Amino acid sequence: MASTMRFIILVALSLLAVTACGGDSKALNSSQTVAEQVAAAATVNEYTCSMHPSIRSSDPNGKCPICGMDLIPVRSSQSSGEHTDHGLVSLDLSERSKALASIETAPARYRQLEKHIAAVGVVAWNTRSMRTLSAWTDGRIDQLYVNAVGDKVERGQAVAQLYSPELFIAQQEYVDAVQSVQKLQGNDNLMRSAEQMQAAAEHRLALLGVPTAHMRKLAREQKVAAQIDIQAPVTGIVTATFVREGQYVTTGSAIASVVDPSTMWVLLEVYQDDLPWLSTGLQIELQLANQAKTLSGTVVEILPELSAQQIAQVRVEVANADFALRPGSFINGGFTVATNQVLTIPRSAVLFTGSRSLVYVADGHQAGVFHQREVVLGERINQHYIVHSGLEAGELVVSKGSFRIDSELQLQGENSMMSHDATAVEVEHDMSAHNHANHSLPEQIMLDHQAVEIFPAYFAMWSALHSDQLEQWQQAAEQYFAAVNRVHWPDALTALKQGLLTNSEHLHHVTSISQARSQFFDHSKAMIELARMGVHEGEIFRAHCPMARDNAGADWLQPNNELLNPYFGASMLRCGSIEEAIGGHNQ
């Protein structure tokens, strides 16, 4: 308090000097203002930082431990904040204060939102158009006309020549029956019996797979062939062969499989949280990797089973008239789905404080007055949140400057949104250069500063995996899970916490490096989300390998831009690419 006492003495001396000199009324008014300031200073017992209002200190000469700025007194005796009927706070700002704070508002309004769901996958054969060519009867494959995968066949084309004694006998019986019918023309009784024999012989040939055209030719020429051709039932491409020339086969033995390539399937991987937005019949835009051409497909099935990573496969059917799609090709997809008319507010209007979501609402009757309001939110889609309750359409919410209003309340000693947890730090959810330039936080989340400690443990897991060291990974994973559990997670980040702790209870069951890498994929997804909140120190890098996870691709974070692949280790250490640099809170 020494500094405050020195200030009081100096002001008192100034007042005496003004009185002694017979100061005019203007000087007297000035001295009265100073006296009021002295009185206010004398009651100050708490100081804060203008840039980091969560900092509190009783030392008037102290400095902010975050930015090093001098602390200023908390003006609790001059608060312009007022409490609403709901226990929340209102703030009255002049037009000048609003302009200096760059406060902007936007109405809560009903609108139809469009959600884009990105997915990756691979091209596959449409197995519903796949057929197996089989032997009609026991026999020997005398000749194969199609004997290699990739051969093209047309419907009705001969794919193999089969010799069969049974088939030879059946053909001879049919020819004999045809000849009997021809000889007995005019004898009705014997003619009827001969026709029945011919019909029975035709039926037997049909059961042996002899096509009708071949029977007609046989009846016309009456020449029995020792071999007969097996024909393709569809136009397509041979995907597999199962026999060789000279091989004996039994009835039903597979000779080759053929698929119609005019339609293909694309098997896309979609996260479980996005499945409620999808349905059969939905259209999707597709693009082959490294190609500019786009294709359109239709969702034909959403497979019921989830992978260990909680990912579902969505089957999309695509026309392939020009045969541009090849099985195994990587492909990117994008679903665009629309909501019904829903009440929305800009995402920049929302501040999260633990289990609550709050906004500032402009008073409809008093200019410059803003009220805190608790809201219940639905999903965030692009730059908007769906509002379930707490707001009415047309009400104006602060879309820019909420954090500055909140800081002003903290400076005045009021219970602001950001002062509910004194151990928390403000963390930007979107650390883009644009947001820094505007000095406004688009979305505030109260997050314990200990979250920073998760990153070194994660990087230790990354280092162990790219070095193929399972034991080191296990040690790093224990530190990683411990670091995650030390953080006080607000309710708004419960899903993120669960992602970070995926398989934590099964750590002691991991006995192979491949299992460790599978878990690292899950942890990396959550860590990338955490990194985008700017929690970490300095700049880190997101890398991608398209061949990881059986060519499904995978991302990870690393502390530098020297690519080291944790999914393959020494076998393909440099596989992949650095995709993105992510700045931390000290950037």
Q: Where are the domains of the chain?
A: 2-78, 80-126+260-420, 131-258, 449-582
Give the C-alpha separation, 505 to 519, whole Å.
12
Q: Where do we find the tokens 């992978």?
A: 307
Q: How would you class 62 by CB atoms within 10 Å of its CB: exposed for 0-12, middle for 13-18, buried for 19 or more?
A: middle
For helices 25-43 and 2-20, the axis angle rounded to 10 degrees is 160
Check: CB of residue 66 under 8 Å from CB of residue 52. yes
Q: How would you class 386 by CB atoms within 10 Å of its CB: exposed for 0-12, middle for 13-18, buried for 19 or more?
A: middle
Encode 340-358 in three state secondary structure: EEEEEEEHHHCEEECCEEE
State how far the alpha carbon of 580 is from the alpha carbons of 78, 349, 541, 558, in Å: 47, 27, 6, 11
Question: Quick one: pLDDT at residue 546?
Answer: 87
Domains 80-126+260-420 and 131-258 share a fold: no
State how far the alpha carbon of 21 is from the alpha carbons of 17, 32, 41, in Å: 6, 16, 26
Please compute Rg for the chain using Cα positions.
Answer: 39
Question: Quick one: pLDDT at residue 4?
Answer: 44
Q: Are strands 540-545 and 248-249 parallel, antiparallel or unpaired?
A: unpaired
Give the C-alpha separation, 468 to 115, whole Å.
40
Question: Quick one: pLDDT at residue 67?
Answer: 62
Question: Quick one: pLDDT at residue 465?
Answer: 95
Give the C-alpha separation, 534 to 519, whole Å.
23
Check: CB of residue 517 under 8 Å from CB of residue 465. yes
Dig out the tokens for 409 from the structure. 């309340």
Nearest to 479 by CA among 514, 453, 505, 509: 453
Question: Quick one: pLDDT at residue 95?
Answer: 55
State how far the alpha carbon of 526 is from the alpha carbons of 291, 489, 500, 530, in Å: 30, 14, 5, 6
Give the C-alpha separation, 357 to 441, whole Å.
15
Is residue 566 helix, strand or coil?
Answer: coil
Check: CB of residue 292 under 8 Å from CB of residue 335. no
For helices 513-531 and 470-486, the axis angle rounded to 10 degrees is 30
Q: Are strands 254-259 and 130-134 parallel, antiparallel or unpaired?
A: antiparallel
In degrees, to the nearest 5, what angle opens at C-alpha 120 toward C-alphas 116 and 125? 125
Question: Quick one: pLDDT at residue 53?
Answer: 60
The string of DSSP letters for 507-553 reads: GGG--SHHHHHHHHHHHHHHHHHHHTTT-SSS-EEEEEETTHHHHT-
pLDDT (tens digit per residue) in 361-372: 888 787 778 888
The fraction of the chain above a pLDDT of 70, given in percent, is 75
Task: For the domain covering 80-126+260-420, report its CATH number.
Answer: 2.40.30.170
State how far the alpha carbon of 301 is from the alpha carbons of 207, 298, 315, 338, 450, in Å: 36, 9, 5, 20, 44
State how far the alpha carbon of 504 is from the alpha carbons of 301, 470, 500, 520, 528, in Å: 33, 16, 9, 11, 18
> Which segments of the chain have a pLDDT < 70?
1-46, 50-54, 66-69, 72-102, 186, 353-355, 402-449, 584-587
Backbone angles phi, psi at 312, to 5 degrees: -105, 155
pTM listed for this prediction: 0.49
Dig out the tokens for 37 from the structure. 């300031």
Task: For the domain covering 131-258, report its CATH number.
Answer: 2.40.50.100
In the DSSP assignment, the letter for residue 87 is: S
Q: Where do we find the tokens 């051709």?
A: 229
